[in-house]
Structure 1
Amino acid sequence: MAANRWIRPEVYPLFVPVGAAVGICVMQLVRNITTNPEVRVTKQNRAAGILDNHDEGEKYSQHFIRRFVRGKSTEIMPSLNGFFSDPK
């Protein structure tokens, strides 16, 4: 059978990262289609032409994750990096 040939127990751990990557891609596609001010799906919105809606663009670009990490350190482990790099 084809299933026994392609789906083996040693392949099961690969399903998690591939599923996560597909989920992230789908989430980004849905986000772009539903909230991006430059994407117009309906014919009525496409006929509107170019809109100068800066508030909506600012709301789209400054999403929750970007607001959360703004002002935080870019280091992954700042205390450990400081321990090894700062002079005593």
Structure 2
Amino acid sequence: MASASTANRWLRPEVYPLFAAVGVAVGICGFQLVRNICINPEVRVSKEGRSAGVLENYAEGEKYAEHGLRKFLRTRAPEIMPSINRFFADPK
């Protein structure tokens, strides 16, 4: 009986946006975790990699930091909604 009331409390249509927001946040955290474990040059999972100590691999670090999304956004104007900004800022 208690599980039915819990399901009725949390599985309402009003709660779906909360589930979506939490799901997106968990997805972003999971993506960043996997990205760091797999391709970050400073993270070494294997024992051989950890025994190497501090590596001077600046080229690999630069490649990791300057990923494709950052390169794409560097050429764009720092605006969230450019069409609305132009509508209110540009004189007619």
Please report the TM-score for the alignment, with normalisation by the length of structure 2. Answer: 0.81
1:22 aligns with 2:26: yes
Shift of 1:40: 0.8
1:54 counterpart residue number:
58
Gaps of 5+ in 1: none
Amino acid at match of 2:41: P
Mind listing any 5+ residue stretches in structure 2 that lack a counterpart? none
- Relative to structure 1, the CA distance from residue 55 to residue 3 in structure 2 (aligned partners, 3 Å threshold; closer, same or farther) is farther
Matched length: 88
TM-score (ref. length: structure 1):
0.85
Q: Describe the superposition over 1:25-52 as per-residue Cα deviations: whole angstroms up to 9, x where unpaired.
A: 0000010111111111111100001111
What's the RMSD between the two structures over aligned residues?
Answer: 1.8
Would the alpha carbon gap of residues 51 and 7 (structure 1) be closer, same or farther in structure 2, given more than 3 Å must change? same
Q: Residue by residue, what CA displacement relative to the aligned partner does 1:5-41 show, whole Å, maximum 9, x if unpaired?
A: 2523132332111111000000000101111111111
Distance 1:23 1:86, change over 3 A: same
Matches within 5 A, 1:5-44: 5=6, 6-9=9-12, 10-44=14-48
Q: State which drifts further: 72-81 or 1-10.
A: 1-10
Residue equivalent to 1:2: 3
